[in-house]
Amino acid sequence: MSPHDHPPRFRTQFDPNNQEFSIAGVVRPQSIDELAPSITLLRDSIAQVRGVFYVNIKRLTQMNNTAFHVFSRVIIDACRTRPELKFVIITSSVVGWTTRKFTMLNGVEPNITVEEYDREFYPGQDFLEEGGFIPILRTQTRMTWRHERKILPRHGMRSGITMADICCGIGDFAVLVQKEFQPFRIVALDHSKSSLSYARKVASEFDVRGIEYTYGDASEMLLEDNQFDLVTCRHSLQIFNKPELILKELYRIVKPGGRVYVTNEKISQCLGEPRGESIQWTYEELSKLFAHFKMDLELGPKNRRYLIEAGFQDIRVESFMVTNLDGDPQEFADVVQSWEDTFAGEMARRRGDSAQFIERFRQGFQDHIFAALHPKGYAGWPIWVASGQKPL
C-alpha cells in the first residue's frame, strides 16, 4: 500500500471572480510530489490576479509541515517577486491551529495577513448572546420543551441514538433530551463561547454526563460526515443570513437514513387577545427589524422548502403554539418582556429608529404581556417544526 492507493482527502480550487484559492480537508502528504497539481494551480492562480489574493483555509482541518512549507514557499516567493500583491489568508476560529500557524507567515512577509472569517455569517449573534439573555433562553426552552418532548419521537428521537444539537446555545435543550430520551451520545455545538461556558458549568454542577459541548461554526463544522442518527437545529436557521449553508452541513453530518430536525418561527404570527391589533403590529415590525439585520424570523413555514432543496426526503412538518395557558402565564410574560428589552432596546436603536416608533413598538410587547396575564386573555407564540431524512 502506498499513499497513492487512497484518493486525496483534500481539494484545492481557484475562484477567479473572488481571486480566492481554497484548500480544504486533510493535507498530510509524505512528499511534496503529491501536491504538485495543487501547487501548480496556486502558482497559476497567483499569476492571474492583481491587488489582493485570498487563500481560504477555513475548511482545512489538518495540514502537516511538509505541505505547509511548500504552500507557504509559493506565497512567500510571490510576495518577493510581486511586492504590490497582498495575500489574505482566511481562517476559521474553530480550527484551533490554523490562525496561529499561518500568522507566523506575517513575521516573514508583512504582505501576508490572516483574518478569521467567522463573524460575517452571524450578523445578529451579538444581540442574542449577551449574558443577560441567558435566563430568558432557559425559560423559552422550558416553554417549548413541553411541546417538543411529545413531538420529537415522531422525528427520529429515541434512546440509544447518536445525536448532535447544532447551535445548542446554552445547552439546556441537550440536557433535557439527555434526561428524557437517554441518547448514547450528544454532541452540542455552538459558536458562542459564553453560551458554551455556561452550558459546561450547568452540566458540571448538575453532574450531567454524556454531552460533549464543542465550539464550532455551524456552516463549517469539524464534525465528520455521516455520524449522527439525528441532528437538531432549533431556532437557528432563522438567525443566519445563509441558512442553506447550515443545512448543507447538517445534511453532511447526519447518517444516511438519519433525520435532521429544525424549528423556526414566523414571528409576525405571534398573537394575543385582548389588544390583538397592537400586538400584531409590533410583531410585524419585529419581523422587519430582524430582516434589516439579515435574519428571517418568518422562516418557519419555509422549513419544508429548505429541507427539500437541501436534498432531504420524507419531510415531516408540524407546528405548535406556545401559550400563556401551558404553564405559569408569568413565564410567558417574562419572555415577552425580555424580547421588548432587547429588540425595542439596543436592536431598534442600532437601526436608528425614532423615539416615537420605539414607543409604539414597545406598546405591542406590553399588550402581549397584558393578554398573557389577563384572566380571560390568550397569548401565543407559534413555532414551526420540520424534519427530513437523508436518503440511504
Partner 1 sequence: MKIQTFMSTWLYCDHMSTYLARMISHNRSDSIRYANLFSSAFNELLEIAFRTRHPGGELACKVSRLGDVDRIELTFPCTIEERQFFEEAIARAQGSESRERYLHSVSGDLAPSREVVLLELAIDYNATLRLEEVDTNIIKLIVDLPLESLPH
Q: Based on the shown chain and the rule CB under 8 A, indicate whether residue 184 belongs to the binding site for partner 1.
A: no
Mark the segment that binds partner 1 (CB under 8 A) among 23-31, 144-152, 170-178, 258-266. Answer: 23-31
Q: Does 151 bind partner 1 (CB under 8 A)?
A: no
Segment near partner 1 (CB under 8 A), from 58-66, 165-173, 283-291, 343-351? 58-66
Sign of the CA dihedral 298, 271, 365, 325? Answer: negative
Which residue, 222 or 358, has its beta carbon nearer to partner 1?
Answer: 222
Q: Is the Cβ–Cβ distance between 15 and 22 less than 8 Å?
A: yes
202 touching partner 1, by CB under 8 A: no
Q: Which residues pair with 105 in a beta bridge?
A: none
Of 40 and 64, which CB lies nearer to partner 1 in the complex structure? 64
User: Closer to partner 1 at the Cβ: 27 or 152?
Assistant: 27
Residue 216 binds partner 1, judged by CB under 8 A: yes
Q: Select from 70, 85, 69 the least CA-distant residue to 40.
A: 70
Look up residue 290 and give its three cell numbers: 430582524
392 binds partner 1 (CB under 8 A): no
Beta bridge partners of 91: 116
Q: Which residue(s) pair with 385 in the sheet?
A: 263, 318
How many chain residues are in contact with partner 1, going by CB under 8 A? 42
Q: Does 308 bind partner 1 (CB under 8 A)?
A: no
- Chain mean position to CA 280: 29
Return the number of the residue (196 or 270) whose C-beta is nearest partner 1.
196
223 binds partner 1 (CB under 8 A): yes
Site for partner 1 in 100-119 (CB under 8 A): 100-101, 104-105, 107-109
Residue 332 burial (10 A CB sphere; 0-12, 13-18, 19+): buried
The answer to whether 215 contacts partner 1 (rule: CB under 8 A) is: yes
Query: Is 57 in contact with 102 (CB distance < 8 Å)?
Result: yes
Q: Which of 18, 64, 226, 313: binder of partner 1 (CB under 8 A)?
A: 64
Q: Are strands 378-389 and 313-323 parallel, antiparallel or unpaired?
A: antiparallel
Q: Kindly state whether residue 193 participates in binding partner 1, applying the rule CB under 8 A.
A: yes
Nearer to partner 1, 28 or 374 (CB): 28
Q: What are the DSSP calls for 211-260, one per residue?
A: EEEEE--TTS--SPTT-EEEEEEES-GGG-S-HHHHHHHHHHHEEEEEEE
Beta strand 228-234 with 313-323: parallel, antiparallel or unpaired?
A: unpaired
Residue 194 contacts partner 1 per CB under 8 A: no
| Cell numbers that stand for 241 in this block | 443570513
CB of 74 to partner 1, least distance (A): 12
* 28 is a site residue for partner 1 (CB under 8 A): yes
331 close to 143: Cβ distance less than 8 angstroms:
yes
263 grid coordinates: 424549528
What's the CA gap between 117 and 92, in Å, rounded?
6
Binding region for partner 1 (CB under 8 A): 1-3, 6, 26, 28, 30, 32, 61-62, 64-66, 68-69, 72-73, 76, 93-97, 100-101, 104-105, 107-109, 187, 189, 193, 196, 200, 212-216, 222-223
